[in-house]
Amino acid sequence: MAPLEPYEQVLIDDAFLEEDPHGEIACEKCHRGNPKASTMKAAHKGLVPDPTYPDPSKTCGECHEGIVAQNKTNIHVSLNPYKHIIGMRASTDKGTRKKIFMAMDTHCFTCHSSCGQCHVSRPNSVEGGFVQGHVFLKTPPMDTNCTACHGSRVEMEYLGKNKELPGDVHYTKRGMKCIACHSGDEMHGTGKDYTSRYDVENAPRCEGCHEDAVSPTAKTRTHRIHKQKVSCHVCHSVAYKNCYSCHVGKDAKGLAYFKTEKTELAFKIGLNPHPSKDRPFKFVTLRHVPVSKGLFDFYVKDGLAHFDALPTWKLATPHNIQRKTPQTKSCKSCHGEKDLFLLQKDVTPEEQEANKGVIVPKDAIPR
């Protein structure tokens, strides 16, 4: 997404001052600074550009107390799953962990959200700027906010931007935007500190709309047969993006950089690494995430000493659902079709141990 012109990023629209109730609040009440100063420098002294991060209780919380209280556990803000995952892979040495989390502050934790970065501005990760002249939007727009961060995978899949692959049927046929499935309640957190986004209790589920698909008397025979055995995505997704290896560091000027080695479109069915009451399936779709043993080598050697604690092929819910896919053509499209499954040969030697729980043994491929 092209960034806004610098002046557009901070241009206040008359609609904000005249029609938005938030426009009645004096600027300095939220942003501080000095509204009576005659120079820009003096006016911006002590300015808080995003007064909703990290603690929105004195701004949004003045009126929206309930949502702000929940928001502490909003994983878009807390990034708790990231911390948990890296924490599990990281060395137990205190000094090493400190260096890793400092590196994460520079590289990973800059991609968080806040009340303002959803309801007022574009996220900082795409250089920010008002979405609609500082007007507060109850529903964040999909194109300027949701996919501004969820671009490489979700946007490309959902809108059909991956080469020769169709967009998600919910979008192409129904024009559904993110909010159609991902409610405000889900986005604002539930008060529980989740360590995985797949544990979020009010996250959307296919059967929330497609109740018949999981019914014991489902109209479609294959639904009755595969229920609880394979995730919906195994049959109804097409190829999706997988990224390999990531290294972070700082260049000669001290500017942060990242390097990922390879990106490919692939479809792999593997063993469920994260079985739960809601996802008891044996087989799920897996996506390779951009992690590597040397991710933080620039900052500390062998930082991820417990790299094998988690698979690098992660449970995935690709956003490119189709009614008909290559897998739904016939029974033989999957049964015995070993190329669809994540086998030992698909995993690099250095990642075998990490993925031993998700690699499908040859004799476990459905015949």
Residues lying near another protein in the complex (CB under 8 A) are found at 5-7, 10-12, 14, 17, 24, 26-28, 31, 33, 35-38, 40, 43, 127, 152, 241, 243, 246, 249-251, 253, 255-263, 290
In this complex, which beta carbon is closest to another protein, that of residue 139 or of residue 258?
Answer: 258
Min dist. Cβ of residue 132 to another protein (A)? 14
Residue 111: helix, strand or coil by DSSP? coil
Closest approach, Cβ 112 to another protein, in A, equals: 14
Supply the minimum distance, in Å, between the C-beta of residue 210 and another protein: 31
Angle at the Cα of 87 (from 81 to 88), degrees rounded to 5?
95
Least distance in angstroms from the C-beta of 358 to another protein: 22
DSSP letters for 157-210 = HHTT-STT-PPPHHHHTT---GGGTS-HHHHT--SS--SSGGG-TTS--GGGT-
Nearer to another protein by Cβ, of 152 and 333: the residue is: 152
Q: State the minimum distance, in angstroms, from the CB of residue 169 to another protein.
A: 25
- By beta-carbon proximity to another protein, the closer residue of 80 and 162 is 162
CA distances from 246 to 80, 172, 312 (A): 20, 33, 12
24 versus 201: smaller Cβ distance to another protein: 24
Residue closer to another protein, measured from CB, 236 or 241: 241
C-alpha–C-alpha distance, residues 195 and 174, integer Å: 32
Q: Counting beta carbons within 10 angstroms of the beta carbon of residue 75, is it exposed (0 to 12), middle (13 to 18) or buried (19 or more)?
A: buried
Give 45 or 229: the residue with its C-beta nearer to another protein.
45
Q: Which is nearer to another protein, 10 or 169 (CB)?
A: 10
Cβ count near 57 (within 10 Å): 14
Q: Which is nearer to another protein, 70 or 152 (CB)?
A: 152
**Which residues are within 8 A (CB) of 229 and not within 5 positions of it... i.e. 6 or more apart?**
281, 282, 283
For the chain, strand residue ranges (E) read: 240-250, 256-266, 268-271, 283-288, 313-315
User: Whole-number minimum distance, CB 199 to another protein, in Å?
Assistant: 24
Burial tier of 65 (Cβ tally within 10 Å: 0-12, 13-18, 19+)? exposed
Longest dimension (CA), the chain: 77
Report in angstroms how near the CB of residue 57 gets to another protein at its nearest: 23
Crossing angle between the packed helical segments 94-107 and 80-89, to the nearest 10 degrees: 140
User: In angstroms, what is the minimal distance from the CB of 288 to another protein?
Assistant: 12
Return the percent helix, strand and coil in the chain, to nearest 5. 35, 10, 50
DSSP one-letter string for 255-277:
-EEEEEEEEEEE-EEEE-SS--S
- Taking the least distance from each CB to another protein, the nearer of 40 and 323 is 40
In the complex, minimum distance from the CB of residue 289 to another protein, in angstroms, rounded to a whole number: 12
